[in-house]
Amino acid sequence: MLPTRKQLPHGVPTWVDPDDLWFVTICCQRPCSTILTRYEVSRGIRASLSQAQAEGRLYVRLCTLMPDHLHLIAQWNRSKGMRHEVAQLKRWWARHLGISWQRDFFDHRLRSRKEFEEKAKYVRMNPVRAGLVERPEDWPHTWNG
């Protein structure tokens, strides 16, 4: 019998500044998948995030697509909430781009400029650490909002 997976509490307390940035990681269901770095999928994710931003649902500061997961640093519109918006994006990506996602996602509120800079460096260096490129600027699946 498999252990029961906990539901992660992604509710943002009302005392948290709505302008705070959040670091979010979303993983594909199959860890060995390379779907996110396929040109049409990468382009579709970028376009959908741009659309969500144009609609005021979120503001993307930095995004990196890895073969089987994505890292996102963003501000979220408080009226719908981060949990709702991530679920909506994942549903759209699954339906239109054929991505099978793991249930849930990881998030961490960035509490300072220093913490933002550390996470941004982590996100940019992810393809280098994975041996996919030698320099972060060579990775075609990273963009600023």
Residue 61 to residue 38: CA distance in whole angstroms: 22
* Predicted pLDDT at 87: 96
Beta strand 69-76 pairing with 106-110:
unpaired
The answer to whether residues 103 and 69 touch, using CB atoms and an 8 Å cutoff, is no
Residues 80-134 pLDDT 10s: 889 999 999 999 999 999 999 999 999 999 999 999 999 999 999 999 999 999 9
* Predicted pLDDT at 5: 59
List helix spans (H) across 1-145: 39-54, 82-97, 113-129
CATH code for the domain defined by 21-144: 3.30.70.1290
Reported pTM: 0.86
Q: In this predicted model, which residue has the larger pLDDT, 56 or 3?
A: 56
* Predicted pLDDT at 11: 56
Residues 31-73 pLDDT 10s: 678 999 999 999 999 999 999 999 999 999 999 999 999 999 9
Coil, strand or helix: which one is 67?
coil
User: Which tokens hold the place of 100?
Assistant: 């099978």
* Predicted pLDDT at 33: 81
Residue 64 to residue 42: CA distance in whole angstroms: 10
The answer to whether residues 20 and 78 touch, using CB atoms and an 8 Å cutoff, is no
Residue 20 to residue 18: CA distance in whole angstroms: 6
Residue 53 to residue 111: CA distance in whole angstroms: 22
**Is residue 8 scored above 90 in pLDDT?**
no
CA distances from 103 to 5, 19, 26, 96, 134 (A): 9, 26, 9, 18, 32
